[in-house]
Amino acid sequence: MKLTGSKILLESLLLEGVETIFGYPGGTVINIYDDLMDSSIKHILTRHEQAAVHAADGYARATGKVGVALATSGPGATNTITGIATAYMDSIPMVVITGQVPTGLIGNDAFQEADLIGITRPITKHNYLVKDVKDLARIIKQAFYIARTGRPGPVVIDLPKDVQMAITEFEYPEKVELRGYKPTFGGNVRMIEKAVKMMLAAKKPVLYVGGGATLTDAHAELMALAETLQMPVTTTLMGMASFPKRHPLSLGMLGMHGTYYANMAVTNSDVLIALGARFDDRVTGKISTFAPHAKIIHVDVDPTSIKKNVRVDLPIVGDLRDVLKKMNKKLAEHKDEVVQENEAIKPWLKEIAAWRKDHPMSYKHSKTEIKPQFVIEKLRELSNDDAIVTTEVGQHQMWTAQFFDFTQPRTFLSSGGLGTMGYGLPAALGAQAAFPERQVIDVSGDGSFQMNSQELATLVQYRLPVKIVILNNNFLGMVRQWQQLFFDKRYSQTCMELPIDFTKLAEAYGATGLRATKPEEVEAVIKKAFETPGPVIMEFKVSREENVMPMVPAGAGLNEMVLAS
């Protein structure tokens, strides 16, 4: 069967199981968009290419599938960069397809030409410039394989216009063989046996869980390990929702804005088991004081992440779910030792319980001002248990992590490594497209929301009923907090002085806008929003100078937390 390059692309996407793509048309991809008219693939037209990539990212995080985005050449392609970098930092499987000028014009500074291969090399797992239509099917097969295997990540396919128009025999490869790419899947059994012995001998163990638990869908295996050994569990921002926050063994999040008891547990632990986490600086604080008494076991599918930031006593390279399955199987062979270990760590659990009692995650309530933490608590109380929550980046992101008790996997979608403002709304769009019947909520600040507010039009056009929460303090809140604490309250360019009526903005796009200015109005606004069909903006005029606490100052150790501002 002979097909054009654009039709080969779409047929290949179907064979990879792609149902939805997010994109924005242009001259160099016009052939693809013409063929999309006859394809069963659903295309969602975002209002900006950055948003298309974030939407594909949100789709991937919510489903576990590879997200797909499509953009034209030149400015369309360069607009995808922030979205690609966001996905790369958080290891999100994605294929981004961009148009390119005809092969004969590449390098000639042609109209809307940009060297996307050179630009994206540092922020992709791999990228391709397709020069011959005969290579296209093979490249697509490889791109999806690379994106989803090993440590997941984004792959770019740059597709010149003449290659899209060229015709060749279409035959899709059945398997992929890449000589230089052989990711390790199965964890080494001997290393796993050593890890089990270390855990059974521990008196003050902590399970430190990162985004790898979500990416590998290892939630059941993680729960089994924690409950078998009665080990406390702390998660990173990316590991959020991989272990239920309401579970008695949950310590919540660790790090800069983590719980006091999580940070103290890590600091005083004797064995730290890092599962699919990369020891980010926001987690460790000052490296020299991080888990100073602990032997560290590090499980990660990416060997370059091990020993990159901290010393490691026992490295295990492999898929986290596979490793946890083997650990649980090995523990089943040591039932007597497991019982002894459970008894041995009871004093440790009591010590942690005392820290939790003395320094719970809390805030000062107010009868006159809306506290942002109160909004998050009410949101959790009134939302469905399987609601998918996305966030932008800033104070609201941390309050969501602190006060929204996630219990289901793949329900918290947020930009961790890159910290991308403007991520949450298009990510919510992508998640809602994947799950039209589920409740999807975007928690935002007034600053972050305006980064991609144009995607309200996309929500309305496709009848995607995302509920948007704007914690409006008329500040770029997190930067303002640092200016208050470390720069003598010199609020340089962080005050959003022009007040915006977000309810009218919602109405201008054909959505619904609601507002609360008093604490007693919060619950009614949330209930009304959840009852209202279609997209809704909930604007909450919150306390202007509320800070995210507790906090580990930059350069300090986890044991040097500031508990209140």
The residues annotated as belonging to the active site are 49, 111-112, 161, 478
The one-letter amino acid code at 278 reads R
* DSSP letter for each residue of 520-555: GGHHHHHHHHHHSSS-EEEEEEB-TT----SB--TT
- Residue 462 φ/ψ, nearest 5 degrees: -100, 10
Placement of tokens 């012995």 in the chain: 197
Q: Which residue has the tokens 């009848």?
A: 463
Nearest Cα neighbor of 297 from 224, 191, 211, 204 is 191
Tell me if 356 sits within 8 A of 261, measured CB to CB.
Answer: yes
Residues 549 and 172: their CA atoms lie apart, in Å, by: 54
Name the H helices within 392-455: 395-403, 424-434, 446-449
Task: State the DSSP H helix or E strand holding residue 380, giving kind and residue range, or none if neither.
Answer: helix 372-382
Residue 317 contacts residue 300 (beta carbons within 8 Å): yes
- Compute the C-alpha angle 437/439/441, nearest 5°: 140
* CA atoms of 380 and 389, how far apart (whole Å): 10
Place of tokens 């309250």: 489
CA 251 from centroid of its chain's CA atoms: 20
Contact (Cβ atoms closer than 8 angstroms) between residue 136 and residue 160: no
Please give the Cα distance from 395 to 447 (Å, whole number).
Answer: 11
Cβ neighbors of 133 (< 8 A, separation 6 or more) are: 4, 5, 8, 163, 166, 167, 168
H or E element at residue 470: strand 467-472
The DSSP output letter for 216 is T
Q: Are 130 and 12 in contact (CB under 8 A)?
A: no
Residues 6+ apart with CB under 8 A from 385: 407, 408
**Strands 467-472 and 205-209, bridge-based pairing:** unpaired
Cα–Cα–Cα angle for 86, 91, 92, rounded to 5 degrees = 75
- Is the N-terminal amide bond of 499 cis, ω within 30° of 0? no
Identify which of 90, 94, 46, 47 has the alpha carbon closest to the alpha carbon of residue 419.
90
Q: What is the dihedral of CA 30, 36, 42, 43, to 10 degrees?
A: 0
**Cα–Cα distance, 244 to 233 (Å, whole number):** 10
C-alpha span between 306 and 301 (Å, rounded): 9
Query: For residue 3, what are the contacts with CB-CB under 8 A and spacing of at least 6?
Result: 11, 167, 168, 170
Alpha-carbon distance 481 to 120, whole Å? 33
Residue from 184, 160, 211, 181 nearest 57 by CA: 211
